[in-house]
Amino acid sequence: ALESAMKGRTTLVVAHRLATVKRADRIVVFDHGQIAAIGTHDALVAEDGLYARLARLQFTDGAV
């Protein structure tokens, strides 16, 4: 439902569940009110920063 509403539009989505933003063109990661990283899901996971740590927790039940 969300994808069809966003089609052809610029959309800002605020989410705690990464599955909600996984297919976004651009993800902005905030940490303590500051921008920590910007990129696609794949790029942010490859950087092995905060987003990658959160992704491991959410997508693999914490397994590394």
Q: What is the pLDDT of residues 5-61, one digit of tens each?
A: 888 888 888 888 898 898 889 999 999 999 999 999 999 999 989 999 999 998 886
Question: Would you state the pLDDT for residue 4?
Answer: 84
Neighbouring C-alpha atoms within 13 Å toward the C-beta of 57: 10
Residue ranges per structural domain of the chain: 2-59
Whether the pLDDT of residue 64 is over 60: the answer is no
- Terminal C-alpha separation, the chain: 32
9: exposed, middle or buried (Cβ count in 10 Å: 0-12, 13-18, 19+): exposed
Which phi and psi (to 5°) does residue 46 adopt? -65, -30
Residues for the chain: how many in total? 64
pTM of the model: 0.79
